[in-house]
Amino acid sequence: MSSSLDSPTIPNATHTINVGVLGATGTVGQRFITLLSAHPWFKIHVLGASPRSAGKRYGEVVKWKQVLPIPVGVGEMVVRECKVDEGWRDCQIVFSGLDADVAGPIEESFRASDLAVFSNSKNYRRNPHVPLIVPLVNPSHLSIIPQQRLLHTPPLQKGFIVTNANCSTTGYVIPLCALEKAFGPIESVLVTTMQAISGAGYPGVSALDIMDNVIPYISGEEEKIEWETLKILGGIAESDAGVKTFDMHAKHPLRVSASCNRVPVIDGHTECVSVRFKRRPPPSPQQVREAFSAFTPDCQALGAPSAPRRAIVVHEEADRPQPRLDRYFQDGAGVSVGRVRQCQVLDVKFVVLANNVSIGAATSSIINAEIAVLKGIVG
């Protein structure tokens, strides 16, 4: 993992933090394990999977699909069910890579047991009290957690759920955030995605469907992008009664139109983006390039150890970014942008590449947890 600072200390802690992984045998769970095994703060304490895997050694039950081998010691760990017991209660943080069809009640049971859950699943992204966080964009939304705890029945002292965004949303909201920070509100966005097959999980899309082919439909994906963008880039409003809500970018309405395609690439989502600014005249392509290069997310200043040194890498070459060449830069923790140019329909257009299994999934959850530790929300 790349580091923005050299091994920052954990606030209010004198030892490593025990963490657990739900859905540990799945593709996202494996990525969590790969990243966490080398983490300076977090120690893998519990691995959770289905009842048929529980009670067995992790190395016996997992179909390991990562480039690196199973980390030393992890293969010998005994898998537990995804039910709260003493082993799970010894964890300060639980990461969830569960499939959406089972994630909802399991994650809620862990939150209800006063555990901090950082989820890659979609189940709670639309919950009005659960923050949907891309760590390079909107960690300020963690401020709603005290309200989430208070409104839970019964109220919680430590437990909460934080979700990270859909992988395709994550990639392009990072440059959008940089643009709004530099030039003010964006009015309209057109985004066309070319999404890697790993985004469909394992075993994923049939070879007969994807080889020599592009599939111009991914169920529910376009709606996710269009809705999640508003929650992530919007702010938090507070009523006279002190109740906080996500404003969905309502102060400056933002229209998003997404078209999503599955392409025969293993890892790395490529997205073609066009934007129109409220500001007139709009910024020039050169000003946009400079804003991308200058963008510094809060997690870097906080010292989150998994944050990329460069949130947005700007390519000057006419044929970059490319998945095969750019997806693993900084361990996939940042995004790559290129082909920044004037748009004849809107204002400016560009291409962004994000590693969907890193910043688009497990890496986001881990950085979110690091931020929560640094802010004293977990500890």
Cα separation values, 254 from 95, 190, 233, 291, 373, Å? 32, 11, 10, 20, 32
Cα separation values, 294 from 109, 325, 334, Å? 42, 23, 14
Positions marked catalytic: 167, 269
Q: For each of the domains in the chain, give its residue range(s) and CATH number, in order of start.
A: 17-165+362-374 (3.40.50.720), 167-355 (3.30.360.10)
Query: Quick check: pTM over 0.75?
Result: yes
Mind listing the pLDDT tens digit of every residue in the chain (379 residues)?
443 334 455 655 447 999 999 999 999 999 999 999 999 999 999 999 999 999 999 999 999 999 999 999 999 999 999 999 999 999 999 999 999 999 999 999 999 999 999 999 999 999 999 999 999 999 999 999 999 999 999 999 999 999 999 999 999 999 999 999 999 999 999 999 999 999 998 888 999 999 999 999 999 999 999 999 999 999 999 999 999 999 999 999 999 999 999 999 999 999 999 999 999 999 999 999 999 999 999 999 999 999 999 999 999 999 999 999 999 999 999 999 999 999 999 999 999 999 999 999 999 999 999 999 999 999 7
Residue 271, C-beta contacts closer than 8 angstroms, at least 6 positions apart: 168, 171, 172, 191, 192, 193, 194, 351, 352, 353, 354
pLDDT at 2: 41
Backbone angles phi, psi at 171, to 5 degrees: -60, -45
pLDDT at 10: 63
pLDDT at 379: 75
